[in-house]
Amino acid sequence: MSGRFDGKIAWVSGASSGIGRGAAERLAAEGATVVLLGRDEARLAEAAATCGPTAVTGAFDVASEADVEAHVPGLLAEHGAPDIVVHAAGITVVGALDALTPTEWHHQMDVNLTSLYLLNRHLWPAMVPRGGSIVTLGSTASFAAFPQDAAYVASKGAILALTKAMALDGGPHGIRVNAVCPGFILTPNLQGYFDAQDDPAGAAAGAGAAAPLGRMGSPEDIAGAIAFLASDDASFVTGTSLLVDGGLLAKVPA
């Protein structure tokens, strides 16, 4: 790799698996010191082991105000302010709006959306003196809805709007904020969505065939896009979204 993140510190939430882990590995491979955040301490340690000897972990729930308040200030003091932040923590709570309990609704919003607020209450002020890049994780669901997926779609639409608002606030401080919007990416989260369908195998096959490129994406596909937006190659890019969906939204459904 080019080493374009040499000397940079990257914080990645949702880093124990899927897109978050892929992003952490890519940024580390290009020279960043990575701070991996996630709830599962054992899986987080496994991910950190693939990110080199400088990688560190913070095992706590980024959707919990108490956990964030208890852990993030200490991590900042010990490991330093971020040059790059990747908000990859996310879940999918399946169901039409009327079928969701209040607990399910709030859980979806807390993990996918409120976690950005909670982390940025600490990370943003640390970035203001130095600038940097923040990458959020939207979705094709930020632009087009899926049936029986109301809370997830709402959370991803909100992430896109929040990304634009943060970009406006960050501009004067040299903080760029952009969203990567994946299509069907084969991760444990997507597999959970398939498993909740009446025909999981058929749902997975349909997802693979839906994009013009004829396959589902991988975490590595998304990691490349995240690395671009985090890098100086995107120094004049902020407040925008990058679809990485194999062309899924480029075609009218048959």
Q: What is the per-residue pLDDT across 226-245, written as a single tens digit (0 to 9) for each?
A: 999 999 999 999 999 999 99
Confirm if 219 and 185 have CB atoms less than 8 A apart.
Answer: yes
Residues annotated as catalytic are: 152
Both structure tokens of 24:
């952490």
- The pLDDT assigned to 145 comes to 94
Confirm if 27 and 34 have CB atoms less than 8 A apart.
Answer: yes
**So what's the architecture of 9-244 in CATH?**
3-Layer(aba) Sandwich (3.40)
Does position 192 have pLDDT exceeding 90, yes or no? no
Does position 1 have pLDDT exceeding 70, yes or no? no
Distance CA 176, CA 91 (A): 25
Mean pLDDT of the 191-195 span: 80
Does position 194 have pLDDT exceeding 70, yes or no? yes
Does position 200 have pLDDT exceeding 90, yes or no? no
Most confidently predicted of 68-72, 184-188, 193-197: 68-72
CA dihedral angle for residue 198, residue 202, residue 208, residue 210, rounded to 10 degrees: -80
**Residue length, the chain?**
254
DSSP codes joined into one string, 130-178: T-EEEEEE--GGGTS--TTBHHHHHHHHHHHHHHHHHHHHHGGGTEEEE
- The pLDDT assigned to 66 comes to 98
Residue 27 backbone dihedrals phi, psi, to 5 degrees: -65, -40
- The pLDDT assigned to 197 comes to 82
pLDDT band at 2 (very low <50, low <70, confident <90, very high): low
Q: Look over the chain and give the mean of its residue pLDDT values, rounded to a whole number.
A: 95
Mean pLDDT of the 6-24 span: 97
Does position 18 have pLDDT exceeding 90, yes or no? yes
Q: What is the pTM of this model?
A: 0.94
Give the burial class of 253: count Cβ atoms within 10 A of its Cβ; 0-12 exposed, 13-18 middle, 19 or more buried: exposed
Confirm if 9 and 82 have CB atoms less than 8 A apart.
Answer: yes
pLDDT band at 97 (very low <50, low <70, confident <90, very high): very high
- The pLDDT assigned to 204 comes to 86
